[in-house]
Amino acid sequence: MVKNIAVLTSGNDCPGMNACIRAVVRTAVHQGVHIWGVHNGYRGLINDEIEELTTRSVGDMIQRGGTFLGIARSGEFFEEDGRRQGYENLKKHGIEGLIVIGGSGSIKGAATMSKEFGMPVIGIPGTIENDVWGTDYTIGSDTAANTVVDAINKLRDTACAHRRIVLIEVMGKTSGWLAMTAGIAGGAEYVLVPETKSNIDQICEEIRADYAKGKKYSLLVVADGALKGMGVTTTELGKQIQEKTEIDTRVTVLGHIQRGGSPTVEDRINSSMLGEKAVLAMIEGKKDVVVGFDTGVVVEIPIDEATNNRKTLDTEFIRLSKVLA
């Protein structure tokens, strides 16, 4: 049985990471395993920013957004020499397995180190975009969706007062999950996502027709990746829509507020379940898997499948958004 495990957070921060780290630490201690925290992601791994954690290390953490371990980009980890240095630092502390909380790219980096040097790795999906293959849920996605819906609710008030069109840009370079989920829950008329092509002329015609019938406002939720094929920014798209509809149009870019905030109950519970499962899987001798959810049940997904396959947006979401528009 392993006696020393390390945990790090990588990629982009998201609400629930601290809750997950807390579960990892307390599960490890409960199982009689020493748990080490790597500060500042892979950069900290290379620079030996590693310290042993206790249950007190994660006190007053479950309600906090972000990650107290920190996150930092590391170009060095893309090189074999950088990964070797990270591996040697882990071995120096007697660490026998690494748990990585982050998106597909972060988990894939750890998987590469595992293949090169034999360090067992368990991945925990943490990203507000909910785009990791093989799992229905990723840490932070529920809190982010609620943050976006809260913004939509407030923007609807002012849009209605001024009879405006409002475009709301949310994160989602390759995945429209966040935009689509929040758009449906927030009652947006249109949701633009990377997975589908949008006909702006048709949208403008429909908006004009709706206003002619007495509609007072229109809300469009736009995933930032949806505009890549159009070659425009959300601000430029807003100007186009205003010109085509002759209706006052405003743009709101939510930005990094989507990554912050105290995690929801769902994110706290699910993060805790995934953190516990990752430690237990490591103790059982599992390696190179990602722990995730399949219809509410915690499952293990081969790490190569989770990182090399692309998760697709549920077509039912796309259909429903059009029906309810």
Same domain, 59 and 120: yes
Q: Does 129 lie in the same domain as 9?
A: yes
Specify the pLDDT at position 309. 96
Q: Is there a domain that residue 74 lies in?
A: yes
Q: How far apart are CA 286 and CA 114, in angstroms?
A: 12
pLDDT at position 74: 87
Structural domain contains residue 176: yes
Tens digit of each residue's pLDDT (9 = 90 or more) over 127-136: 999 999 999 9
Specify the number of domains making up the chain.
Answer: 2
Residues 240 and 287 in one domain: no
Res 270: pLDDT = 99
pLDDT tens, residue by residue, 46-63? 999 999 999 999 999 999
Which residues 6+ apart lie within 8 Å of 257 measured at CB? Answer: 147, 151
325 pLDDT exceeds 90? no
CATH number of domain containing 164: 3.40.50.460
Are 136 and 270 found together in one domain?
yes
Residue 73 above 90 pLDDT?
no
With CA atoms as reference, report the closest residue to 190 among 173, 172, 168: 168
Q: What is the mean pLDDT of residues 76-104?
A: 96
Tokens for 178, please give them: 């966040």
Percentage of the chain beyond pLDDT 90 is 95
pLDDT band at 237 (very low <50, low <70, confident <90, very high): very high
Give the count of alpha carbons within 13 A of 129, CB side only: 26
**Residue 273: inside a domain, yes or no?**
yes
Range of the domain at 91: 4-140+263-308
260-276 per-residue burial string, b: 16 or more CB within 10 A, e: under 16:
ebebbeebbebbbbbbb
* Contact between 274 and 100 (Cβ < 8 Å): no
Which domain CATH number covers 21? 3.40.50.450
First and final C-alpha spacing in the chain: 55
Write down the pLDDT at residue 75.
87
